[in-house]
Structure 1
């Protein structure tokens, strides 16, 4: 697991996706007893709640996570493809770092990746 991931707040999910592995690896909070009971009945996640705790509301769960992790940098995964939802503090960090990352990708990583695959950069107009 990536050590940058400090906690998972599990607000809502369909059952049937095997994800107990994540709860075993990082502190996990499930929002509401109803969601916890879904996991207790999910044959792919029978042990999920052995590694998670239940907190009544999303607001209380997030406040707990902020205190326990010492950060307000949050990725909000809602299953939407092609986008990322983040908290304002994380958005500010990513915005500050984006120019340097883009520069490295354009001038170092992408050319290296293309060379490894035998792609001639000149055909790309570079």
Structure 2
């Protein structure tokens, strides 16, 4: 006979495994010449998820589906417009972008780094 605790444990495990499958990974790196006194503000679907400072990166799971990544410099003393890029996150996929300056604005460029290369980059 299955106890209630055993049953709930199995249901919980199934839910965890189902939710893990529907996630991808997004990583945003700062270029080496981004600036030492400027943070990178990253928004996903209009919601701020990180202010990435020098020597750090954004590396988190993101739900599968279509998302808009928006970046800007903080502080934004020159009132540069934020830039956005669309990405379709697939379950289990890893998406790596590099934030860099292009003329007078911050842009995100898809990176050619593999997951193995990414793990070699020190924080």
User: Do both share a fold (TM > 0.5)?
Assistant: no
Is the radius of gyration larger for structure 1 or structure 2?
Answer: 1
Query: TM-score when scaled to structure 2?
Result: 0.23
Bigger strand fraction: 2
Query: Comparing both structures, which one devotes a greater share of its residues to helix?
Result: 1
Give the alignment's TM-score, normalised by structure 1.
Answer: 0.23
